[in-house]
Chain A
Amino acid sequence: QVQLQESGPGLVKPSESLSLTCTVPGGFISGYCWSWIRQPPGKGLEWIGCIYYSGSTNYNPSLKSRVTMSMDTSKNQFSLKLSSVTAADTAVYYCATESTGRLDYWGQGALVTVSS
């Protein structure tokens, strides 16, 4: 069982950057791709991307120009930064673990609202 916990500001102004952190209390497990998924209110799921323990990343091309993922193994955390946000980026953001393509464990989600 892997526990995940998202944290970060719940309100971000348009054109600014959204930053979220996912804490993994039990530490990182090699072989997982540490993932971010988002869900606009009342809508479906969108895969944002993931980062491996090695630091290599895969990003959704629709967001690639604005997304940066990073990992801090000393703090058992991985992070998402999304730049130049608009109202369309308002969503619940989930961190999750991906093992051979399946998203096994999820955080509880963090609602981020983009508004001035």
Chain B
Amino acid sequence: EIVLTQSPATLSLSPGERATLSCRASQSVSSYVAWYQQKPGQAPRLLIYDASSRATGTPARFSGSGSGTDFTLTISGLEPEDFAVYYCQQRRDWLRTFGQGTKVEIK
């Protein structure tokens, strides 16, 4: 099983600031990482797939990068609606796994 470790667990930032979220895989997953946003009481929403491709409807302030074992989700300027929990997920292995999540909260 490929383990994804996200850091930090919580990120406290103000609106307008830049958020940088990390996801590290226990072995290479090539570029097969997706990122999801989840707000309280809602289902996760796909933001980024294949490390850097924005899903339909994902604002341009969200960008993804990385390959191999290290991946980053960057939010260039936090909007009020961006405060949420973010999960990474890999599809390199048929057994899909998720990271434990990073909560982006208002400072």
Contact = CB atoms under 8 A, between A and B. Distances in A.
Interface of A: 44-47, 58, 60-61, 94, 96, 98, 100-104, 106-109
Could you say which interface size class chain B belongs to? 20 to 34
B95 A47 contact: yes
A102 B99 CA distance: 14
Contact of A46 (B43, B49, B55, B98): B98
Contacts of A44: 87, 98-101
Interface string B80-104: 0000000101010011111111000
Contacts, number: 54
Nearest to B53: A102
Interface of B: 1, 32, 34, 36, 42-46, 49-50, 55, 87, 89, 91, 94-101
Given A44-B87, A45-B87, A106 B95 contact: no
A109 B43 contact: yes
Contacts of B44: 45, 94, 103, 106
